[in-house]
Amino acid sequence: MNKVFKNAQEAIFDIESNVTLMLGGFGLCGIPENLISALVEKGINGLTCISNNAGVDDFGIGLMLQKKQVRKMISSYVGENKEFERQLLSGELEVELIPQGTLAERCRAAGAGIPAFFTPAGVGTEVAEGKETRDFNGKTYILEHAFDSDFALVKAWKGDRYGNLIFKDTARNFNPMMAMAGKVTIAEVEELVTLGELDPNQVHVPGIFVHRIFQGDNYEKRIEQRTVRTRE
How far is 53 from 23, CA to CA, in rounded Å?
A: 9
3-state secondary structure of 108: helix
What does the pLDDT read at residue 109?
97
Q: Pick from 171, 210, 221, 222: which is nearest to 11 by CA?
A: 210
Which of 33 and 57 is assigned the larger pLDDT? 33
For residue 1, pLDDT beyond 80: no
Q: What percent of the chain has pLDDT over 70?
A: 99
What does the pLDDT read at residue 199?
95
The CATH architecture that domain 8-117+146-215 belongs to is: 3-Layer(aba) Sandwich (3.40)
How far is 53 from 50, CA to CA, in rounded Å?
A: 8
What does the pLDDT read at residue 77?
85
Domain residue extents for the chain: 8-117+146-215
How far is 31 from 33, CA to CA, in rounded Å?
A: 6
Q: Using 50, 70 and 90 to split pLDDT, how confident is the model at 24?
A: very high
How does 46-78 read in b/e, with b if 16+ C-beta sit within 10 Å? ebbbbbbbbbbbebbbbbbbbeebbbebbbbeb
Calculate the average pLDDT of the chain. Answer: 93
How far is 145 from 57, CA to CA, in rounded Å?
A: 30
